[in-house]
């Protein structure tokens, strides 16, 4: 851990050397590396990291900039795309933008890459107004900020309904080395605009991969953003996903996180409601086994009156896996007439699996409706017997019930093809061939 | 008993009642009818002293006393009762406890002693019988999880227990099937005497088949535009409210 | 028209004097302020303790010195200067009394003011009362009746002398000396408390009760309670607390250990009404209490608490469900008003198979207070078929207070079934008006609604306590409206 930290600190100078040191971002990066130096990596001593240790994950000898990259063809990545729907694609391979696999646009909006936004003066104002404005200044986020140079840049101006979903996918191919990436996304959605984004990190490598991703998402007045995170990486890949969302009045942000793979996955999600009549919906399905570890750390911050938030996280944990849900809802004094609902339901399918859940409500306003419910249990044995007595084999019956358990969350997915894909992944995960109808 | 003079009232800056005059004498049954939004429920709320309703002009005199500046509970102590259109749920507070508190607070305000447990129990039983209410119902939290019909019946049950001088029935018929309606009406009729009065507020005439009014008033746009005997209710039922509107225009 | 407005209510609330805020003039025997080994030895000596107890205290003190005050709770306060407290204050009218008749009449007057006429309670409810004033047990009534059944109910001090084998065997077994900062402090300096032992198979025929009261200024209260229910026995234990109003903060750091052996049951009820501070947030008791019970096979421990007092409360009555089929329960009402802060809840540690726990927590916040529920449900890998149900409801009165819920659930067994629910609500204006229309004034209406809200917990209290608790709720909250 200390070793990696030292390595990161000493690499920073070399990294910054290649950049324009007069740029606005240079100052931010320099400040960020200092924060990281001070804060370091999070440890279990921090209340928010009580149940997740990065010790093992940080113990690999990561390269910070991959020395070799493999050229990928469309056929290599096809199965990781939602390929049966028209979409914009921003594809990165080993931290570098891959133009021949991507499909971007500057036609009436910018669906492109962060490096070009950082390097072109016409974007200066946007960068100054939005870059690193809502991200948390903790160690792990600051680390990303210090090394932020590439990622997706999505800027949708006023009154635009983006015609097709945007897929943002990061691949890593590193053959003989472990790599630590710091991708950075900046998404600005203008007034009254609508967009759908699908995000994924995928390792194609046999070696350990650690991704520390930061996304800043701005939802302006009356905008609507539908966001999907598909986390189904190899078991040698870990992800720390830091997503910061800032919403203005009447905006609607929804996120579905499907955590179905990876070694260690930590989702830090923070949503701040800055205006009235905002809707925020965050849903998750987590199905893991072996020694996998998934930690959802969410915050919904209600600052203004008449807003709603809905959270629904379902988890199924097998083998030696560990699940964590730490969901915080904060309602400020001014935020009267807030409706905040939070549900976290878990099923353990193995005696060695663990679930730690901590749904928190912090309420400073009196005229609110807030509730949370959380359950831990196993599948209903009577129902299982019922299915089997109807001729459904145990494995399929179990799968069907697990599917039924998670189904409510899938039901709210807007893109049919995403729904189908998640269904397939879940079926595969549960080792069954049956198709699940929705 | 009740005298309303040139009553004007507004809620949230919107004028609802625009000059109502009404007099109710002991032993009378009055019905106020009118289309939705005419101000019927507002009138009930103003008489009972609901805070959000601001009286901007006029007077409400009850038993020779001006009700201005008198709190809702004091009005209740003086004998004004309203059967709510939407009775409120209070989880964890049993119907018995609620009624007991209401009765004893009223008695306290009138300088009387609390009712003894024995008398209370007897009265509860008696009124349950009157309104065909299962006594188990008394131990349930007030209105919590009650059906629409149960809530309305509970309102009349409370009225029976509290024995008000003036009972205002705000849309008591809504949500009741015909059998429940008959029970409720029957209860009201049995409680009726020459000393008390009833103000029925309703959109439809059907309740008035069972609680027969001495006077019918038509409320329209915050004013009583027509008054008459019970036959006026039939006329309204037959012709709807449109002819009244026509009549006002001409 | 005039109306009893929210502002009126608030004003009245603020000016509401602490009902039990009076000071009894009893001569006291107080040790000098400060904390060091000499003081601890002096306490032990004053109490004529055997050497092993002195050593036990000194060991705790040594460990305590290496510990630091916990900061994780959702409360803010100026840490008490532990060197400015006197660790021993006993009414000097010694020696001990054999019956209540011998008790200082002024003291008895104190009880009357407390609204807990001991005489009356004795007659009506058959409650045996142990009274601890400023850390010293002054009277234990009904001793003879209990003796017949073999029940030991006496002051801790007496137990150490008379029943050293029992005390030695159980003290510190559920709450180790080093459990936490305040438990360690208590272990070093505890001055008295109650001890209770119910022999095998005995159902204690009456409620046992202790009243705690801090009287002397500048003293801390560190009482220690130990209840042991031997196999197949049953006891219901009541605890009441109060303190006079003072400008400075007073410290109360008690330790309560419960041990329920196989098939035994302990019901422990608390009505806590320490002085909460005045309406500006001055004074009040810091209530940092460690309470924990251990359940062996088929045993049951039930904690019920009504918390209305204290400036700062930090308290988590817990159950270690060690034995098979054991049951833990926690029923709590916590009311905060003015500047009070409460961080309270429970821990249910499921170790044995088929263990069950239930948590019902009702938090009511008014004024500028902060009220937090903090709870842990932990299911160990061995705790097959364990069940937990938790329900945490918060009621907010006014817009300057806060209600917080921090439940921790840690499960390592697939057969566990856990359900946790939490809601937050306010008293509706329509509810108040409905009551008003029936002739119930706003104050009474709030009392009615709060009682309804708290009912599931109030129902768990022994009858005579429930009445007192209801009164306390009314006093603490009179007339707040949302």
Confidence of residue C479 (pLDDT cuts 50, 70, 90): very low
CB-based contacts of A81, cutoff 8 Å, min separation 6? A87, A89, A167, A169
Confidence of residue C111 (pLDDT cuts 50, 70, 90): low
pLDDT in tens, B226-249: 898 888 888 888 887 787 777 777
Segment A77-82 shows an average pLDDT of: 89
Query: Which pLDDT does position C19 carry in this prediction?
Result: 41
- Residue C482 maps to a domain: no
Instruction: Answer whether C305's CB lies under 8 Å from C274's CB.
Output: no
- Residue C84 maps to a domain: yes
Segment A98-127 shows an average pLDDT of: 92
Segment A337-343 shows an average pLDDT of: 92
Q: Which chain A residues have a beta carbon less than 8 Å from that of C425? A: 369
CA angle C188, C194, C198 (to 5 degrees): 125
Tell me the domain boundaries of chain B. Answer: 2-94+165-249
Query: Which pLDDT does position C102 carry in this prediction?
Result: 52
Query: Which pLDDT does position C242 carry in this prediction?
Result: 64
- Residue C175 maps to a domain: yes
Segment A292-301 shows an average pLDDT of: 97
Question: What is the domain extent for residue C429?
Answer: 6-477
Confidence of residue C20 (pLDDT cuts 50, 70, 90): very low
ipTM: 0.84
Instruction: Answer whether B153's CB lies under 8 Å from B182's CB.
Output: no
User: In the CATH scheme, what architecture does the domain B2-94+165-249 have?
Assistant: 3-Layer(aba) Sandwich (3.40)
User: Which residue would you say has higher pLDDT here, A123 or A400?
Assistant: A123
Q: Does A183 score more than 90 pLDDT? A: yes
- Looking at every residue in chain A, the average pLDDT score rounds to 90
Nearest to C449 among B70, B93, B109 (CB): B93
d(CA C427, nearest CA chain A) in Å? 9
Q: Does C212 score more than 60 pLDDT? A: yes
Q: Does A312 score more than 90 pLDDT? A: yes
- Residue C330 maps to a domain: yes
Q: Does A41 score more than 70 pLDDT? A: yes
Query: Which pLDDT does position B81 carry in this prediction?
Result: 94
Instruction: Answer whether B97's CB lies under 8 Å from C453's CB.
Output: no
User: Are the Cβ atoms of A351 and C414 closer than 8 angstroms?
Assistant: yes
Give the mutation candidate from C439, C441, C451 for the B interface (greatest B CB count, under 10 A): C439
Segment A177-196 shows an average pLDDT of: 95
pLDDT in tens, A207-235: 899 999 999 999 999 999 999 999 999 98
d(CA A324, nearest CA chain C) in Å? 9
- Looking at every residue in chain C, the average pLDDT score rounds to 80
Segment B25-45 shows an average pLDDT of: 90
DSSP E strands, A337-396: 339-348, 354-363, 369-377
Segment B35-48 shows an average pLDDT of: 89
Strand partners, B200: B31, B169
Q: Which tokens sit at C288?
A: 């940092």
Confidence of residue A315 (pLDDT cuts 50, 70, 90): very high
Query: Which pLDDT does position C35 carry in this prediction?
Result: 82
Q: Does B7 score more than 50 pLDDT? A: yes
Nearest to C436 among B76, B92, B109 (CB): B76
Segment A285-312 shows an average pLDDT of: 95
User: Which residue would you say has higher pLDDT here, C305 or B203?
Assistant: C305
Segment A144-151 shows an average pLDDT of: 92
Residues written for chain B: 250
Segment A162-171 shows an average pLDDT of: 95
Percent of chain B predicted with pLDDT > 70: 100
Among A380-389, B127-136, B207-216, C34-43, name the most confident range. B207-216
Query: Which pLDDT does position C123 carry in this prediction?
Result: 38
Pairing of strands C152-155, C194-198: antiparallel
Stretch among A419-433, B196-210, C390-404 having the lowest mean pLDDT: A419-433
Q: Does C328 score more than 70 pLDDT? A: yes
pLDDT in tens, A229-269: 999 999 899 999 999 999 999 999 999 999 999 999 999 99
Segment B160-184 shows an average pLDDT of: 88
Cα–Cα distances in angstroms (integers) from residue A349 to residues A259, A354, A355, A376, C473, in the given order: 17, 10, 11, 11, 45
User: Are the Cβ atoms of C410 and A366 closer than 8 angstroms?
Assistant: no
Q: Which chain A residues have a beta carbon less than 8 Å from that of C409? A: 355-358, 374, 376
pTM here is 0.81
Q: Does C310 score more than 50 pLDDT? A: yes
User: Are the Cβ atoms of B93 and C440 closer than 8 angstroms?
Assistant: no
Segment A277-297 shows an average pLDDT of: 95
Q: Does A204 score more than 80 pLDDT? A: yes
Q: Which residue from C minimizes the CA distance to B98? A: C448
Query: Which pLDDT does position C124 carry in this prediction?
Result: 34
Q: Does C169 score more than 90 pLDDT? A: yes
Segment B85-91 shows an average pLDDT of: 87
């Amino acid at each position: 851990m200390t070793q990696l930290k030292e390595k990161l600190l000493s690499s920073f100078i070399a990294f910054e050397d290649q950049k324009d040191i007069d740029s606005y971002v240079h100052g931010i990066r320099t400040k960020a590396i200092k924060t990281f130096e001070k804060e370091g990596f999070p440890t279990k001593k921090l209340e928010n990291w009580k149940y997740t240790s990065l010790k093992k994950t940080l113990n690999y000898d990561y390269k910070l900039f991959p020395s070799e990259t493999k050229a990928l063809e469309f056929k290599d990545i096809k199965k990781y795309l939602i390929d049966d729907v028209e979409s914009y694609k921003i594809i990165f391979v080993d931290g570098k933008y891959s133009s021949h696999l991507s499909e971007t646009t500057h036609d009436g909006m910018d669906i492109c890459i962060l490096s070009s936004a950082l390097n072109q003066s016409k974007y200066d104002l946007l960068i100054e107004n939005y870059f690193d404005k809502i991200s948390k200044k903790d160690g792990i986020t600051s680390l990303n900020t210090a090394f932020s140079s590439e990622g997706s840049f999505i800027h949708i101006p006023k009154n635009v309904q983006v015609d097709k979903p945007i897929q943002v996918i990061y691949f890593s191919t590193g053959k003989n080395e472990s790599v630590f990436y710091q991708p950075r996304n900046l998404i600005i959605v203008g007034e009254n605009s609508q967009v759908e984004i699908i995000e994924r990190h995928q390792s194609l490598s046999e070696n350990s991969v650690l991704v520390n991703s930061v996304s800043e998402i701005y939802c302006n007045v009356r905008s609507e953003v539908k966001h999907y995170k598909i986390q189904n990486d190899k078991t040698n890949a870990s992800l720390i996903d830091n997503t910061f969302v800032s919403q203005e009045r009447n905006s609607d942000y929804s996120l579905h996180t499907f955590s179905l793979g990876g070694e260690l996955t930590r989702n830090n999600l923070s949503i701040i409601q800055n205006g009235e009549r905002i809707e925020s919906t965050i849903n998750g399905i987590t199905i893991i086994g072996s020694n996998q570890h998934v930690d959802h750390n969410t915050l919904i911050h209600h600052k203004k009156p008449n807003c709603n938030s809905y959270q629904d996280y379902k988890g199924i944990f097998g083998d030696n896996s560990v699940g964590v849900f730490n969901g915080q809802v904060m309602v400020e004094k001014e935020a009267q007439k807030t409706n905040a609902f939070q549900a976290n339901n878990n099923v353990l399918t193995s005696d060695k699996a663990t679930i730690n859940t901590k749904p928190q409500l912090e309420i400073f306003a009196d005229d609110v409706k807030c509730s949370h419910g959380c359950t831990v249990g196993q599948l209903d044995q009577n129902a299982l017997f019922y299915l089997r007595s109807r001729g459904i084999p145990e494995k399929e019956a179990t799968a069907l019930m697990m599917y039924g358990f998670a189904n409510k969350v899938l039901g709210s997915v807007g893109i049919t093809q995403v729904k189908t894909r998640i269904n397939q992944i879940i079926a595969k995960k549960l080792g069954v061939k049956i198709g699940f109808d929705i | 008993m009740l005298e309303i003079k040139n009553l004007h009232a507004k809620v949230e800056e919107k004028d609802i009642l625009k000059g109502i005059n009404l007099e109710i004498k002991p032993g009378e049954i009055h019905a106020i009818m009118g289309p939705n939004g005419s101000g019927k429920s507002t009138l009930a709320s103003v008489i009972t002293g609901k805070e959000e309703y601001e009286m901007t002009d006029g007077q409400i005199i009850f038993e020779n006393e001006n009700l201005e500046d008198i709190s809702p509970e004091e009005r209740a102590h003086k004998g004004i009762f309203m059967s709510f259109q939407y009775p409120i749920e209070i989880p964890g507070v049993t119907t018995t406890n609620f009624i007991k508190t209401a009765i004893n607070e009223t008695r306290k305000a009138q300088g009387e002693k609390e009712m003894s447990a024995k008398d209370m129990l007897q009265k509860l039983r008696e009124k349950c019988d009157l309104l065909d209410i299962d006594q188990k119902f008394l131990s349930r939290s007030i209105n919590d999880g009650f059906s629409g019909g149960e809530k309305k019946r509970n309102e009349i049950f409370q009225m029976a227990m509290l024995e008000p001088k003036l009972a205002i029935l705000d849309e008591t018929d809504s949500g009741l099937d015909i059998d429940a309606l008959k029970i409720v009406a029957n209860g009201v009729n049995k409680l009726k005497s020459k000393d008390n009065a009833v103000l029925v507020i309703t959109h439809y005439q059907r309740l008035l088949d069972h609680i027969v009014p001495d006077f019918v008033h038509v409320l329209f746009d915050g004013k009583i535009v027509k008054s008459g005997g019970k036959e006026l209710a039939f006329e309204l039922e037959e012709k709807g409210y449109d002819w009244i509107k026509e009549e006002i225009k001409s | 028209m005039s109306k009893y407005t929210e502002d009126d209510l608030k004003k009245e609330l603020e000016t509401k004097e602490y009902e039990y805020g009076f000071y009894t003039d009893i001569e006291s025997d107080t040790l000098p302020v400060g904390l060091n080994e000499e003081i601890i030895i002096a306490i032990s000596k004053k109490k004529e303790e055997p050497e092993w107890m002195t050593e036990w205290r000194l060991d705790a003190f040594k460990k305590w010195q290496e510990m630091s005050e916990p900061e994780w709770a959702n409360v803010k306060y100026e840490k008490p200067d532990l060197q400015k407290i006197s660790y021993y204050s006993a009414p000097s009218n010694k020696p001990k009394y054999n019956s209540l008749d011998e008790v200082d009449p002024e003291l008895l007057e104190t009880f009357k003011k407390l609204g807990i006429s001991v005489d009356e309670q004795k007659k009506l409810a058959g409650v045996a009362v142990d009274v601890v004033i400023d850390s010293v047990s002054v009277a234990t009534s009904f001793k003879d009746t209990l003796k017949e059944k073999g029940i030991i109910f006496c002051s801790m001090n007496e137990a150490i002398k008379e029943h050293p084998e029992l005390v030695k065997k159980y003290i510190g077994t559920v709450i180790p000396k080093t459990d936490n900062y305040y438990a360690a402090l208590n272990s070093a300096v505890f001055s008295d408390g109650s001890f209770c032992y119910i022999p095998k198979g005995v159902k204690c025929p009456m409620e046992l009760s202790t009243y705690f009261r801090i009287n002397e200024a500048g003293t801390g209260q560190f009482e220690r309670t130990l209840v042991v229910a031997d196999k197949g026995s049953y006891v219901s234990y009541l605890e009441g607390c109060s303190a006079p109003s003072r400008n400075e903060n007073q410290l109360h750091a008690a330790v309560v250990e419960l041990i329920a052996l196989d098939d035994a049951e302990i019901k422990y009820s608390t009505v806590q009404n320490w002085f909460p501070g005045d309406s500006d947030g001055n004074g009040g008791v810091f209530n940092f209490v460690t309470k924990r019970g251990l359940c062996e096979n088929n045993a049951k421990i039930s904690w019920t608490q009504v918390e209305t007092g204290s400036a700062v409360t930090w308290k988590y009555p817990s159950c270690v469900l060690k034995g098979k089929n054991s049951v833990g329960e926690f029923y709590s009402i916590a009311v905060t008003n003015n500047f009070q802060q409460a961080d309270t809840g429970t821990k249910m540690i499921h170790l044995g198979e088929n263990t069950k726990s239930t948590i019902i927590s009702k938090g009511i916040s008014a004024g500028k207070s902060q009220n937090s529920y903090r709870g842990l449900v932990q299911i160990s890998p061995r705790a097959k078929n364990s069940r937990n149900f938790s329900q945490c409801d918060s009621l907010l009165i006014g817009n300057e207070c806060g209600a917080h819920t921090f439940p921790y659930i840690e499960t390592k067994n697939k057969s566990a079934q856990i359900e946790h629910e939490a809601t937050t609500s306010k008293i509706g204006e329509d509810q108040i008006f409905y009551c008003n229309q029936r002739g119930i004034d706003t104050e009474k209406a709030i009392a009615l609604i709060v009682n309804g809200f708290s009912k599931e917990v109030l129902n768990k209290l022994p009858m005579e306590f429930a009445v007192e608790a209801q009164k306390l709720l009314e006093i603490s909250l009179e007339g707040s409206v949302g």
